[in-house]
Amino acid sequence: MARRFQSGSISQMGSWYVLRFRQDVGDERKQTYLRVCPVNGPNRLSRAARRRRAEELMEQAGVNSVETFNVIHGETFRERADAFLREAATRRRDPVKPATLATWESCLAKYLNPAIGDLPLASITNGALKRLVASLDKSGLGARAIQLYTGFMKLVIASAVDPDSGDQLYPRKWNHDFVDMPIVRNQKQPTFTEETMSAIAKEPRGRYQALFTLLGATGMRIGEALGLDIKQIDLEHRVIKITQSAWRSKIQRPKTHAATREFDITVAVAEMLKTFIGDRTKGLLFPSRNGLPLGQSNISRRHLHPVLKKVGAVKTSFHAFRRFRTTWLRKQRTPEDLIRLWLGHAEASITDSYSKLKDDLQYRQKEAERSGIGFEIYPIVRTVRTFQKAVAV
């Protein structure tokens, strides 16, 4: 701050004494002149009075204020974003998952840093957000993506806090009407019909047939399926426990607290898994040759998309299996308590926390069998590839 302090200089310009100093305007520093007093006449000031008047003018201009210094020379968005990502990954309270971090890093590199990376945090107000929204819209992003990326921007700004009090240094009240934030309407969320799901469960062979069948029958996330250990499957009681997930061939904690759960499967699904597992007693349900989790992108590109094309279904992601399962359970009027439990969603209200249906295993098994899965399960077609001690089926 001391390095940037200015006292200005007083000089005569024509019939006036003027104060000269430099003022930051945008990204430039411009010479500024302010009248102090006339050189002659009744309003002429003494040398000492001229200096006091100059100090008043400097204060009114805010040249040396902390606020002005922070706006022009404070922490930039790029710097705060880098610090936020480091803090989010290592904090003890709810650390951010690697998949989310990867998405944020990509968003920063491609969209946010080029647009606002070098702006001081104090200068990022609704006006800056309005320009950012216009830039993102011009780049071709959809309404949902714009909301997500600007939401991340808000998290970064809110993460700048006073180290002693914990209060936000730059609190903002965002005006979505002023910034013209797009509204998400008719968002594309592809799913499958019962007929399409049956075709998907029949078309592939081996472990991918088992994987797609399991996803459609349970609605579990793809990361949960790829991180599923055989020891977490209780075929006797027809219960699967989710305690871990997989991302980029690495095991990690489930996505959320609610994702750590157990859910019930039908007799037909249990029989399918029994056949698929064979005499294996440990290891991942769907391991690669070296025992690590399979890669999601490889499965999607090499197996899911070709199957969807062959059965005439729209090209989509693994999340379509979760939408299919949710839709089917709602059609069967399955209790919402169980739908949230089986899908790994958080409770919606305090009333939900009072319900203890999740503790009634017998009732859960009965509901799972009654609700069914909505498509036909076909015998697993074995392949000749082997990995570890198991046959890749």
* Other beta carbons within 10 Å of 120: 19
Query: If 0-12 CB within 10 Å is exposed, 13-18 middle and 19+ buried, where does residue 12 land?
Result: exposed
Closest CA to 172 of 127, 218, 126: 126
- Cα dihedral 253, 256, 259, 261 in deg (nearest 10): 80
317 is written with which tokens? 């992601």
Q: What is the largest CA-CA distance in the chain?
A: 106
Q: Do the beta carbons of residue 208 and residue 200 sit within 8 Å? A: no
Give CA–CA dist 108/68, Å, rounded.
26
Q: What six digits make up the tokens of 65?
A: 């204020």
| pLDDT, tens only, 250-263 | 898 888 888 899 99
59, exposed or middle or buried, with CB in 10 Å at 0-12, 13-18, 19+? Answer: exposed
pLDDT digits (tens, 9 = 90+) for 62-109: 766 655 555 545 788 999 999 999 999 888 888 888 888 999 999 999
Three-state secondary structure call for residue 109: helix
User: Domains in the chain and their CATH numbers?
Assistant: 2-73 (no CATH), 77-179 (1.10.150), 194-391 (1.10.443.10)
Q: What percent of the chain has pLDDT over 90?
A: 61
- What does the alpha-carbon distance between residue 12 and residue 37 come to, in Å, rounded to a whole number? 10
Q: What is the pLDDT of residues 335-376, one digit of tens each?
A: 999 999 999 988 877 887 888 888 889 999 999 999 999 999
DSSP code for 243: -
Contact present, 285 and 229 (Cβ < 8 Å)? yes
325 pLDDT above the threshold of 90:
yes
User: How far apart, in whole angstroms, are the C-alpha atoms of residue 337 and residue 95?
Assistant: 27
Q: With 60 as the cut, is the pLDDT of residue 162 above it?
A: yes
Contact by Cβ (8 Å): 81, 156: yes
Over 50: is that where the pLDDT of 133 sits?
A: yes
Q: Does pLDDT of 58 surpass 90?
A: no
Confidence check: pLDDT of 284 > 70: yes
Q: What is the mean pLDDT of residues 18-43?
A: 81
Does residue 286 register a pLDDT over 70? yes
Cα(375)–Cα(190) distance, rounded to whole angstroms?
17
Mean pLDDT of the chain, nearest integer: 87
Tell me, what's the pLDDT at 266?
96
Other beta carbons less than 10 A from residue 85's beta carbon: 17
- 260: its two tokens: 């750590």
What's the number of CA atoms in the CB half-sphere (13 Å) around residue 59? 6
Quote the pLDDT of residue 391: 40
Taking only the tens place, the pLDDT of each residue in 189-246 is 899 999 999 999 998 888 999 999 999 999 999 999 999 999 999 999 999 999 999 9
246 strand-pairing partners: 251
CA dihedral over 383, 286, 189, 129, signed as positive or negative:
negative
Catalogue the long-range contacts made by 14-20 (C-beta closer than 8 Å, 24 or more residues apart): 15/39, 15/40, 17/45, 17/50, 19/54, 19/57, 19/58
Question: Average of pLDDT values for 141-165?
Answer: 92
In a 13 Å sphere around the CA of 60, the CA atoms on its Cβ side amount to 9
Number of CB atoms found within 10 A of residue 335's CB: 15
Q: What is the DSSP string of 1-48?
A: -GGG----EEEEETTEEEEEEEEEETTEEEEEEEEEEESSSTT---HH
Q: Decide: 8 and 20 in contact? Cβ < 8 Å.
A: yes
| Termini Cα distance of the chain | 68
**Spatial distance between the Cα atoms of 386 and 155, rounded to a whole number of angstroms:** 47
More confident site: 188 or 155: 155
